[in-house]
Chains A and B, each alone.
Chain A
Amino acid sequence: MGLLSFLQKIEPDKKKSPFLHTLYDGFFTFAYAPKTVTKGGVHIRDGMDLKRTMVFVVLAMQLCYVFGTYNIGHQHFDAIGMYPGFLEGFHLKLVHGLIKLLPIFIATHVVGLGIEFWFAAKKGHPIEEGFLVSGALIPLIMPPDIPIWILCVAVAFAVILGKEAFGGTGMNIWNIALLARVFVFFAYPTSISGDEVWVSGFEKVAPGMAVDYGWAHGMFNSLFEWGKMATFDTGAVIHDAFSGATPLALASKGGWSAVTEQFTVSQMWWGTIPGSIGESSKPLVLIGAAILLITRVASWRIMFSMFLGCSAMGLAFNAWGATPFMEVPWFYHFYIGSFFFAMAYMATDPVTATSTNTGKWIYGFMIGAIGLLIRVFNPAYPEGWMLAILFLNTFAPLIDYYVLDANMKRRSAKASNSSAMIMRDADNVNEKNITHA
């Protein structure tokens, strides 16, 4: 094949330029499945490999990307008071969204992959696919106007200290995407919390503030003028009645009635609300979750038990009812904030979750319960999934330890039990049937 022989000719030497070789190897194995054959052990292997697993997770997220891009633009124009309808100013919204999203996406991948490639070259092993998913998740959980330099520092922190320091793909304790977000959360809290960060394209989000358009907007303006379509209005200002608060922020201050004053349930469900880039559209996130469940890439146990945990805690709060936030009906907690996104993509990360099936039930349930607990009780920041998931990531090995301990005790109990029975009744051995796994 022409392409194959060309690629094989330009392969950089492994010893003379390890970094280039690693880079080459990464892209080559992306294009061509390697030709290694089995040696020792099984002779045929399953068609599934880690690359394919990661790519399916990334594919499941793509709907969130598409909608997130649109929503960035929609929130921007919502603040100005223009184009309230879904299809109005569609091209402007998409372009604005892309202008905000692409730098975040590219910066995440350049920094993250660059660090991964460097470590792989240094250690002499091929590039491992772990960052494909983390790199796809990080843009979706960031606010649209996050300063790129903060993002780069956060990604570097997450990849170097959260992943490579532990040994690379498969060895990290904490979820890498959440580590990046939690870094921004604690180090630069004003860029990721409050009411001003969820709408993009303004110097300051307050009534009367002007739009902040850059060269990219100008470039597209000339394109739109040539195409006789609506253009970005550089003189637009935020309308007077605007607040950049998300439904979650409103609920934490004033309960469900405060939320319904500004947003309808349908808006919250379909996702045309301010928030992180990818989390807002619940049906699209659920479609992604369904893809992951049908292909058995993600664990249904974690998703289901997380839903149960959150519902149980929500019901408990409804029964208690001490604050307006606690009185928010338990099923509406799924409409605000990022529960479904955390459930589908963050909690189900197999490396950081518990590895035993029993452990997954406990893990998911606790994330659901503790996440909602943090959301309702946290005075500073009304969202709890990131913190709950990182917390349970820390305790996942402990949960597994006790599940395995129970397994080992069961095994030794069977040993002493059966030998005692054989001694007691040699002719009529009444053995207990073992669970048919």
Chain B
Amino acid sequence: MLLTALVVIGIILILISVFSISDNLIQIEAQKEGIDTQKTNLSLIPSFKDLFSPSLPSYVDKNKLHRLKKGMNINIAGGAASVVSDANVARYAVRPQLYRGLSPIPKMEVAEGDEVLAGQVLFFDKKNPNVKFVSPVSGEVVEIRRGAKRAISHVIILGDKTQRYMQHTPPSINNASREEIVEYMQASGGWTLINQRPFDIIAETEVIPENIFISTFNTAPLSADMNLIIEGKEEAFQHGLTVLSKLTDGKVILGLDGRGTTEPNTAYTNATGVEKHWFNGKHPAGNVGVQIHHTRPIKGGNSVWTLKPEDVAAIGQLFLSGTYDASKVVAIAGSDVVDPQHYRTYKGASITELTKDCVPEGETLRYISGNVLTGEQVDKEDFLNDKHNLVSVVKEGDNYELFGWLLPIKPRPSASGTFPNFILKNHEFEVDTNTHGEERAFVVTGQYEDVLPMDIYPQHLMKAILTGDIERMEGLGINELSEEDVALCEFTCTSKQPLQEILRDGLDMMREQA
């Protein structure tokens, strides 16, 4: 009896050792060949991950799939329907203050009352005169609004019913040198569409980015559908990718939606000349910063560029037809919006005109250009931020609630297990802007790490920023972060700390040092 048991155990042990040795030999061979062993599964035994994780549709390339476990989706009521109507907007504004690093009083090339074409130069920075800022629409410059200390806050244009475009002659992409491409982009207004990380500034002319990253899906609450945004611009998008690949020595990396719920637009899945990566996970899986971290993290003093798909299409259009296409698809969403959907308009559209038909008067509402986590609070008289494709409308929560912190009347989105939100998995929450608590010192730990899928310790980074310890900030990875990455951490923060503000202060400190 004992003998047979020992023999059986011996046979099992031999088989296990044979399997594991051959497995290891295969891995060693593969590494010699240069195949990435962690992306492609070469072992004899199927990996647990593939066996037990939910199956994904076939369009997702499993070898380039990144599964992100941390994060949190916030389901808010009033998501925009997947239809696109034309918006009836006449006024548009270009805001110099949206561009970090621009001097407060740029040199204006137009005055009030001038007629401009779409793509015509409006102003430029005296410190960087080659980079021109252009008009998104054709029409008349009705107002050049100045803010504090005579800084220019808005250049407001009354748009024409039919757009007239400034015509440029683009260089041929196959023959042109990098300098010629850069020169053309700076003169035609395409350069300002590029965002440079770290610090989120306008791309610097002397810097060659290590890589260029584009995220093709947005996981933020109520965000617009990026598949709709690129419809009709597929050729321009591909051409834009080709242009961008000439501007970097590294790769153009496309982040695709691997969550399996909707198939991405063929413009994204069929893009050529780029490295495609699929991301599966909760918000912030769609954030370009998170995608950078998991593909080619920013190192040391290097810079990378990030762009939105619609801006890639605009750059492509500049090189295809020589005209500046500032059209964009904007979603207007929120539980108070009547019939929330997507609208077609141009950059810098007036919020009043966008929302006048779909948001009823009455309750105190907050208009946000962008999503509820990272967006900018705007007046109704204000204008859409160029970087945003969403107007979120939420109720102001400035009312007292009896024992509201203990027994809320309506369900609230929360990362905490003290709310019975597990029974409300697919519930769409009605949110308001109440802080649900007062600001306190950091007490709870481990909260931020749960919603940030990066190898960074956010709370310690925040403390390093608050104490102004530059070395520690850099060591803890501040250069990999942008405000949108810590926005979810700020949402879940029990102590109601202003994390995005702290991070911005830290990034400004780092930029001054550089």
Contacts and interface: CB of A to CB of B under 8 A. Distances in A.
Interface of A: 1, 3-4, 29, 31-53, 55-56, 126, 128-130, 167-171, 294-297, 299, 350-351, 353-357, 360, 400, 404, 407-408, 410-412, 414-415, 418-419, 425, 428, 430-437
Nearest to A29: B438
Given A33-B436, A415-B299, A437 B416 contact: no
Given A52-B418, A434-B455, A170 B436 contact: no
A63 to B, nearest CB: 17
Contact of B405 (A49, A400, A434): A49
A294 B432 CA distance: 27
A430 B38 CA distance: 11
A353 B445 contact: yes
Contact of B494 (A48, A167, A168, A354): A48
Interface of A is mostly: loop
Given A46-B416, A407-B476, A437-B453, A33 B490 contact: no
How many B residues touch the partner, as a band?
Answer: 35 or more
Given A50-B440, A170-B495, A43 B408 contact: no
Contact of B415 (A46, A128, A170, A435): A46
A37 B396 contact: yes
Contacts of B417: 294-297
Interface centre among A44, A297, A436 (most CB of B within 10 A): A44
A430 B34 contact: yes
A44 B444 contact: no
B491 interface: yes
Interface stretch (B52-60, B64-72, B89-97): B64-72
Nearest to B492: A46
B470 to A, nearest CB: 13
Interface of B: 31, 34, 36, 38-39, 66-70, 74, 293-294, 296-297, 299-300, 366, 368, 372-375, 377, 392, 394, 396-406, 408, 412-419, 431-438, 440-446, 449, 452-457, 459-460, 475-477, 487, 490-496, 498-501
Nearest to A293: B417
B416 A415 contact: no
B460 A355 contact: yes
B403 A434 contact: no
Contacts of B477: 407, 411
A436 B68 contact: yes
A144 to B, nearest CB: 31
A351 B441 CA distance: 10
Contact of B454 (A46, A167, A360, A437): A437
A128 B440 contact: yes
A37 B293 contact: no
B494 A53 contact: yes
Contacts of B455: 407, 410-411, 434-435, 437
Contacts of A350: 443-446
B400 A34 contact: yes
Interface centre among A50, A167, A354, A408 (most CB of B within 10 A): A50
A168 B446 contact: no
Contacts of B404: 32-33
Contacts of A38: 433-435
Contact of A33 (B69, B437, B456, B496): B437
Contacts of A35: 397-400, 434
Contacts of B406: 51-52, 55
Interface centre among B74, B405, B457, B495 (most CB of A within 10 A): B405
Closest 10 CB pairs of A and B: A49-B437, A170-B441, A33-B404, A47-B412, A408-B475, A415-B299, A355-B445, A48-B416, A295-B417, A296-B417
B52 to A, nearest CB: 16
A167 B375 CA distance: 34
Contacts of B432: 44
Interface of B is mostly: loop
Contact of B476 (A39, A51, A128, A408): A408
A33 B436 CA distance: 7
Contacts of A418: 296-297, 299
B36 A431 contact: yes
A291 B511 CA distance: 46
Given A45-B435, A49-B436, A37 B397 contact: yes
Contacts of B394: 43-44
14 contacts: A42-B500, A47-B416, A52-B406, A130-B443, A295-B417, A350-B443, A355-B460, A411-B476, A414-B297, A433-B36, A434-B294, A434-B297, A436-B67, A437-B454
Given A414-B297, A418-B299, A437-B69, A126 B403 contact: no
Nearest to A126: B438
Contacts of A428: 34
Contacts of A360: 446
A31 B398 contact: no
B198 to A, nearest CB: 13
Contact of B414 (A33, A40, A46, A432): A46
B416 A295 contact: yes
Contacts of B418: 48, 52-53, 56, 295, 297
A44 B430 CA distance: 11
A300 to B, nearest CB: 10
B372 A53 contact: no
A425 B33 CA distance: 12
Nearest to A167: B441
B400 A53 contact: no
B441 A433 contact: no
Contacts of A51: 405-406, 437
B397 A49 contact: no
Given A53-B494, A126-B438, A295-B416, A355 B475 contact: no
A311 B431 CA distance: 47
Given A126-B438, A355-B446, A44 B457 contact: no
Contacts of A410: 455
Contacts of A29: 438
A241 to B, nearest CB: 48
Contacts of B67: 436
Contacts of B476: 404, 407-408, 411
Contacts of A295: 416-418
A170 B496 CA distance: 13
Given A4-B402, A44-B373, A47-B414, 14 more contacts: A36-B434, A36-B438, A40-B501, A42-B373, A43-B392, A44-B372, A44-B394, A47-B436, A52-B418, A53-B416, A350-B446, A430-B36, A431-B36, A432-B38
Contacts of A419: 299-300
